[in-house]
Structure 1
Amino acid sequence: MRRVKAALGLGSSICGGALFLGAMIAGCSSSPSTAQTSDASADAGTTGMTDDAGTTGPDADAGTTGPDADAGTTGPDADAGTTGPDADAGTVCGDAPGTTLDYTAKGFDFLLDGDWGNQQDLTDMQKVAAAMNTWAAAQGTNFVISLGSNFYQGGTFAYEGVQSATDAKFTTLWKDVYAGTTLSQVPWWLVLGNHDWYATGSPKFEMQHQDPNWNLPDYFYTKRVALPGCKHATFVFVETNLLFYGYAGKQNMATNFASASWSLSAKTHLKQLAWIDWTLQQANQDEFVIVIGDHPTFTCGSDVTGSAYMGQLGAILTKWQPTAYVNAHHSTLAYYAISSQMLQVQVGSGGNVDAACAPVDPSKAGQQVANTYGFAHAKLSGTSFALDFVTEANSVAMQTSVGARTPVVGVTADTAYLPPPGDPSIHAQ
């Protein structure tokens, strides 16, 4: 989103300089040295709080690179999620060789960054990156997950997205910004946002960029990790731009959609929704399931109601109750407890800020930090998924956590439009 600042109305509060809406949190921290336990207060409406989210020290797996033979494939395609860093290419927890990344020793620690890549707000983006580096060093972060949008028009760049696989933005707005001693060694997993689709060819250029820490293998892909106690977490990375805007798109999206062979006649949106539905069914037995996409299904109600098909995606999420759906697009920090085992999370202020946006159902317990640059730190132990929402001033504005999920029973995926392996609705050609 583009940078917008507005004053919050009644009901806002201030903690560590950050404005937020919703229930008050128990306390605020100023750095990872004082916030290394990520168990949130019980008033957030979540369950399963633990004290192991603040594990510190470098993880031997952090920054390991090399191809996954089939890391975390849960969809109908044998090649879904087949690239990116692999913590252990061998057998772990009895899983098939090469299918699971091994984080059984210390759990899986990662950072969430959304709506960055904006030279217009470069100073604030650099402050966010510096705080991310501090947390990565203290927590032994394994990965950064980018929620889109990745590259904006602004400053000296007169175009959205990127214009080639070697575009200067990859250096100026990514490598040179996230250049901290620790953070520069941490691999990224990414999805595309709307600004990445605005420039003709930009989505494929971002997937073609060559850097060991840049991992954007496809429109849709999965990763699976083994946690302490041989618990498991599946990450499902989804492409939401067609689902949000529809086939007409915005700016040059329609050209990019056509180039990807996406069309109403091909029923592309139905195939994408079916793939998500089927993939969540395959991951249903895992203790943790994290779905990553750019656009909201709950956290910003006006975005959801104004979209083409995001309501259908939201219904699929409600059916399968993943641990969390995490998005950017609206440039605030937010979380809401949808149920005792499911969170809706928004992290969209890595390089842009917005005023607050009311969620689909304001009665759900949660909080929102508006007009504030920041990111989130996340930890998956064998028993919980814990989040710290951190401002550019390295202040923890809010925290939450949720325990291991219980598999959903009595429902099945609708496979009427499930695409065959290699279908362009899911895979870049």
Structure 2
Amino acid sequence: ILKMAVSLLAILMAGVSMVSCFPMAFQDLEDHSTNRTSIRFLALGDWGGLPYPPYITAVQKTTAREMSRVAEQMGADFVLALGDNFYYKGVKSVDSPRFQDTFESVYTAKSLQIPWFVLAGNHDHAGNVKAQIDYSHRSDRWRFPSYYYELNFRIPNTGKTLTIIMLDTVQLCGNSLDYEDEKPRGPLLEGEANRQLEWLQERLARSKADFLLVAGHYPVWSVSEHGPTECLLHRLRPLLIKYKATAYLCGHDHNLQYIEESDVGYVVSGAGNFLDPDVRHWNHVPKGTVKFFTGQASTLGGFVHAEVTKNQMFLTFVQAKGTSLYRTVLTQRDLN
């Protein structure tokens, strides 16, 4: 019996250490060219087509075309998909034709056959998010391991690291019914929200990454239709500041924004499918923090290209009709 108990304990201990070290695994970058010294990715939100034929919008199509061009010319190791992956009510099952119609057959370029790291938005939560997670087993590039998760990368040939923490802000704050201009009214499951928050705090506190990004669907700060998310101002912003996050990336508002506040960069990249020039919350963000905004229909859509080098992170805001609109540089975390 003692022998059995000891071996059982050994198995349990192995399980515990596996659970705690699992998130620290480093992602493998596909491109192994020996002289590279940066990681590059695209950030795209609110790209989820339409629930009826042709299942995509003109903005989504033009944005997809420009993404492929930028990925080819500037390089891209992966895409961060920032939620609202399928309008208007997510998908019902892993067999939904929407995966094909709105994703696989739209982002067809060779340069976009790279990992897509996915998180869920409010429209996804109107359907079956678990089905989107399960689709990871059906697609080579769709990576959605759980509602929230952590990605770790080594920046090639630099000795530096990049961590991206992917959140489920709908589980954290509650769902919002867009058409009623609803704000999230608090989480559906308080316990689930607190669990995620504790996990996040633990990951942030432990992070020694040189660049630390957090991504979610809802904005912390936004000047547009939805404006700042109270719940995230209250629950997330203090953690971003305390643990010196480099930037927070999100979608939800259908435009491109860059806001800088308390040494954190706030990126809104929600122009993948629709465009909205609305700036009704311009005075609801701290004065002087808005560095860039565009939601004009004439841009035909847009996304963000990021490059993380040895000690800087370059963000380029790109419009679908083929020019970059704004560029900014963030420096690595000072952990001393």
| Residue 86 in structure 1 maps to residue 28 in structure 2 | yes
Query: What is the alpha-carbon root mean square deviation over aligned residues?
Result: 2.8
Q: What's 1:39 paired with? A: none
1:220-239 residue CA offsets vs partner (Å, 9 max, x unmatched): 11111111420111111111
Aligned equivalents of 1:240 and 1:203: distance in 2? 13
**Pairwise CA distance, 1:391:** 0.7
Partner of 2:183: none
Give the deviation of 1:349 after TM superposition: 0.5
Q: Determine the C-alpha separation between the residues in 1 that align with 2:202 and 2:287.
A: 30
- Over 3 Å counting, the alpha-carbon distance change for 1:385 and 1:298 in structure 2 is same
User: What TM-score do you get using the length of structure 2 for normalisation?
Assistant: 0.80
Distance of 2:22 and 2:235 partners within structure 1: 26
1:270 to 168, 186, 194: 194
Tell me the residue number matched to 1:398: 326
8 Å Cα contact 1:80-1:220 kept in structure 2:
no
- CA drift of 1:305 comes to 5.6
Q: Displacement, 1:79?
A: 4.2
Q: Which residue of 2 aligns with 1:150?
A: 85
Instruction: Give the aligned partner of residue 293 of structure 2.
Output: 368
In the TM superposition, what is the alpha-carbon distance from 1:276 to its structure 2 partner? 1.0
- Residue equivalent to 2:147: 219
Distance 1:375 1:195, change over 3 A: same
| Structure 1 residue 106, shift from structure 2 partner | 2.8
Equivalent position amino acid for 1:390 in 2: V
User: 2:151 and 2:108 mapped to 1: Cα distance?
Assistant: 25
Change (3 A) 1:304 1:79: farther
How many percent identity over aligned positions? 25
Partner of 1:186: 114
From 57, 62, 67, the equivalent of 1:122 is: 57
- 1:295 and 1:327 in contact (8 A); partners too: yes
With over 3 angstroms needed to count, the CA separation of the structure-2 counterparts of 1:292 and 1:103, relative to structure 1, is farther
The answer (yes or no) to whether the contact 1:386–1:401 under 8 Å persists in 2 is: yes
Whether the 8 Å contact between 2:316 and 2:326 is mirrored in structure 1 is yes
Q: 1:282 is matched with which residue?
A: 206
Distance 1:171 1:383, change over 3 A: same
* Residue in structure 1 matching 2:221, options 298, 303, 313: 298
For 1:306 and 1:319, the matched residues in 2 are separated by 19
**Aligned partners of 2:219 and 2:228 also within 8 Å:** no
Extract unaligned runs of 5+ from structure 1. Answer: 1-74, 89-100, 154-159, 252-260, 410-429
Partner of 2:162: 233
Deviations 1:280-333 (A, max 9, x none): 1111x2210011110111234874666445521112112112110000011110
Is 1:207 matched with 2:133? yes
Tell me if 1:326 matches 2:254: no
Q: Secondary structure at the match of 2:293?
A: strand
Distance 1:399 1:326 in 2: 15
Q: 1:384 to 1:118 in 2, by over 3 A?
A: same
- Name the aligned partner's letter for residue 203 of structure 1: V
Q: CA deviation at 1:272?
A: 1.6
Gaps of 5+ in 2: 1-17, 179-186
Contact in 1 for aligned 2:29/2:77 (Cα 8 Å)? no
More helix by share: 2
Q: Residue 42 of structure 2 aligns with which residue?
A: 111
Helix, strand or coil: the match of 1:182? helix
Cα 1:325/1:133, change in 2 over 3 Å = same
Alignment match of 2:269 (pick from 342, 347, 351): 347
